[in-house]
A and B are shown apart, each in its own frame.
Chain A
């Protein structure tokens, strides 16, 4: 099977517009603005000592999760990575629950049992990641396997980074999905660095080419173009639902902040950061929408107001009761499978 290597953003935005209403395009921008705003707020809470542990964000990578998750249906299932907060927002996780999660509060998605973006709301069709990357590729492949066995028209999607492509689970999942021709979409979020290790120490061949080696399609997409990301994911989902197997989407982007809050990123050349700053995904989408008359200032103001209210609500919430620390290790009732998430794309309505 030939690997299709799309040029970054080649026709992406134009092609996407066919499938996006004006409201959808605003939705995408709103999800990215909300992700950035929430992470900035969480960072300031971290500096105030209200976020325990460390803090990780996806500044500059907002388009990867917003665009890809937007193409998924309510019955599709997602395993979301730590720089992909927008995917949670699109599935319907509320900002106050996210800020509660960062602060380890009882109202957080994991009720304080896990931190930062290590969460998935099971009622919204999401499984939270673990730190061993990319373990969730296999979990997503397993969901897709079940869909295929049951003859259901659904797919699974997961995200992972460039560093993940070195680990065995990447290869086991790619191979498994290829052999069984599973309805799964693998989003490789190539942000150029795995902690401090640049991609030239991670792989000798662009990992998108590996898709062909495992018998399915690999595409490279401008990961800083939210509409191009959406369109690549939409096409991958269609392929999956048509029974044509998995897709590897390599979203080329850049990690604009350190690995975590403590990391000053001295190992990244300044010019590289400056170059990528010109390709900010939010500014690009704002420019597009401003050109068609969207009031960006009003949108930004409404996002900020929502974050202010969310922060107030989260800060007022209690910490978890220490007496519950040993609860819930085992399920003692019926095993309830994942529920459906929200799917705001107009294509589903």
Chain B
């Protein structure tokens, strides 16, 4: 099994899909000749041509809107937002046209929207956001967020095969930091949670870049057996896996890199309050970015993004409860 970075795994999934299925079409700004702002599609034009690895006009609404049109006549478009922040310019097409299409008219919209998201590299307020919760609140859109190289590939295959619009949150900070063995060829990873490390004293629930933060923070936590649950999919949310972990561990810390209010973790906390209350042996604790734009300067950015120390401290306090 080859070892790939998270970014190479995304590239491999796209390449495999383009080879396997003529309906697959990549669309985005600077993804063709230039190979993408992060080089995810580097060299693709040589193999697949400029029609299937399409440099589009600089128009995010245009990218999503035309992808919808292509999808309903039989294509499988994969759209790249250069940064997830720019999906705000395509929000209406995604939420109002794509998200509501099947409910209103029984017409499937099989599009994948790749959203390079997250902070940690001084991207500032417009290149660091985690907009997943916007789409969790919009019916008809699935949302997935891989944390490992293997899941980056498998979830992307599943997203492209899914008959619905899927937001694929790829965390920029993981692109070259995360590596792992990844099966070759097309395989699907289910839209369910994954136990990243089993435990029994406390569970940290996280997704995306926060999974590795949670693992590092709890690797050696005064001998406690800390479980880390990687959600992988936010819509659908794996309620069974979450409630099962709560039942086994009784103490829960939920970590979001996104702004705290109405974040994915808030939904997880609400779920536990509604359906897991009897299993709890302490308050549900959340660690998230406060409700501020992501600042540019490193000391300011590090002050708001959840890091290893904050997560470790939150776990220690809860274990002592």
Contacts and interface: CB of A to CB of B under 8 A. Distances in A.
B72 A328 contact: no
B69 A329 contact: no
Contacts of A179: 57
Contacts of A145: 66, 69-70
A310 to B, nearest CB: 21
Interface stretch (A132-140, A278-286, A298-306): A132-140
A338 interface: yes
Nearest to A128: B105
Given A122-B106, A138-B61, A143-B73, A130 B97 contact: yes
Given A113-B104, A329-B103, A338 B73 contact: yes
Contacts of B110: 335
A336 B104 contact: no
B104 A118 contact: yes
Interface stretch (A90-98, A169-177, A202-210, A224-232): A169-177
B73 A330 contact: no
B96 A122 contact: no
A190 to B, nearest CB: 22
B62 A172 contact: yes
A335 B100 CA distance: 15
Question: Binding site of B, secondary structure by majority: helix, strand, loop or mixed?
Answer: helix
A330 B93 contact: no
A337 B103 contact: no
Given A132-B96, A330-B140, A338 B69 contact: no
Given A132-B96, A175-B59, A330-B142, A114 B65 contact: no
Interface string B33-71: 000000000000000000110001101011011111111
A104 to B, nearest CB: 13
Q: Interface size for chain A: under 10, 10 to 19, 20 to 34, or 35 or more residues? A: 35 or more
A141 B102 contact: no
Q: Which of A141, A331, A338 has the most CB of B within 10 A?
A: A331
Contact of A337 (B74, B106, B139): B74
Given A130-B100, A156-B69, A329 B61 contact: no
B204 interface: no
Interface in A81-112: 109-110
Contacts of B65: 135, 137-139, 141-142, 169, 172-173
A135 B93 contact: yes
A146 B75 contact: yes
A156 B164 CA distance: 22
Interface in A299-339: 328-338
B107 interface: yes
A143 B62 contact: no
Contacts of A128: 104-105
A324 to B, nearest CB: 11
Contacts of A159: none
10 contacts: A119-B104, A127-B107, A131-B96, A135-B92, A140-B69, A141-B65, A146-B73, A149-B25, A149-B75, A176-B59
